[in-house]
Structure 1
């Protein structure tokens, strides 16, 4: 487990394309990226949901996230893809959004020559010894099983079939809507952060961590679990 300070801004401005930009996590990524001076293309299904964000470096485009052809139109000339796509947990209906969209994203990246990808999943996408009991015995059976299964399938697709893609999978715990805390982030290459409390991590902190990956190769082609510290 590592502790990482996240107080610095990125040094090089980049051209970013953000998927899931109208969701709570995606909006945080867009706002923080613009604040840091990056050029952002937000790929959305409903552009009206980003009307409140006004910035000369923001371009909002409408596209089918399941269509590699449509995504390719907006990936050209970009440097990094950040995916904050997510679906509501379903107890009965199968969840396929993560694998289906990622296959379209990767196909579009290959078509346009993009190689850098940062995406979100969750703690404990797979059941392993040492996973928090609350997740394994309560959340998975009652709420999250189908979602986490599809997240895991997406992760396997990246590790097994995408050797040409420089991806980082960010695994946060349960997400909250509070402001950016500026607290250090605990990181661990695994399903969760050993010793860290199970609880909410603000989406603003997750977005900040995702954008910090633009300046490091530490987590290239890895899956990193994260959690905010409770104090400095």
Structure 2
């Protein structure tokens, strides 16, 4: 299969690239900085903005292979990794990027859209441990969450065959191999302080969902099993 990738230079996005290519699929990635994602066999890299309709259009048509779907791992940017750091990306960066992608995909008769969201979005908020809610609500992560909430609402209103994947507390140890529990959109009311999701497992799950066409128009919370 052949996928459009948005967010391919991020920590999870790069693992999605590796997973796709390892499985024999191909991809075309729209990135702000191509230096962060050197071309590899089966991967085409296009420079541009996910907010620009023309750039996504150019990316989809960059190869002669028709796109089968889009895997969206974009994240917002802050001035540093500190949760109190100032937000760099616009308030609706994720929501607007997903909206533009949806419009272009549908214009090319492509409906499949798999999005990495985050636990705490939408109806998963009440099920988060209190400490998690305090952390996200009192730091500048609240702006990240607000954008995820906007995207969550907007994507559901599109005609795409969307899937929203909400990992809880991403862990970035790429050497650790884990399996994931897949819960309903609320986290089944069983989320705990110790819950996390390692990004290799999340990347593998995003690819599985996209390739197999599962959880269409569904939202799931994932955590390490």
Q: Please classify the TM superposition score into its range, dividing by the shorter chain length.
A: 0.7 to 0.9
1:75 corresponds in structure 2 to: 60
2:185 aligns to what?
190
- 5+ long unaligned stretches in structure 2: none
SS of the residue corresponding to residue 139 of structure 2 reads helix
Which one scores higher on RCO, CA 8 angstroms, separation ≥ 6?
1
For residue 25 of structure 2, what is the aligned residue in structure 1? 38
How many residues are matched? 212
TM-score of the superposed pair, with normalisation by structure 1: 0.83
Matches of 1:210 and 1:55, distance apart in 2: 20
Alignment of structure 1 residues 66-145 onto 2, 5 Å: 66-76=51-61, 77-88=66-77, 95-126=91-122, 128-145=125-142
Distance 2:112 2:171 in 1: 27
Which structure 1 residue ranges, 5 or more long, are not aligned?
1-13
CA RMSD of aligned residues (A): 2.1
SS in 2 for 1:170: strand
Residue in structure 1 matching 2:167, options 169, 172, 194: 172
TM-score (normalizing by structure 2): 0.85
Q: Distance in 2 between matches of 1:178 and 1:47?
A: 24
Distance 1:47 1:218 in 2: 31
Identify if the C-alpha distance between structure 1 residues 154 and 44 changes in structure 2 by more than 3 Å, giving closer, same or farther: same
Distance in 2 (CA, whole Å) between partners of 1:166 and 1:146 is 27
The alignment status of 1:205 with 2:201, answered yes or no, reads yes
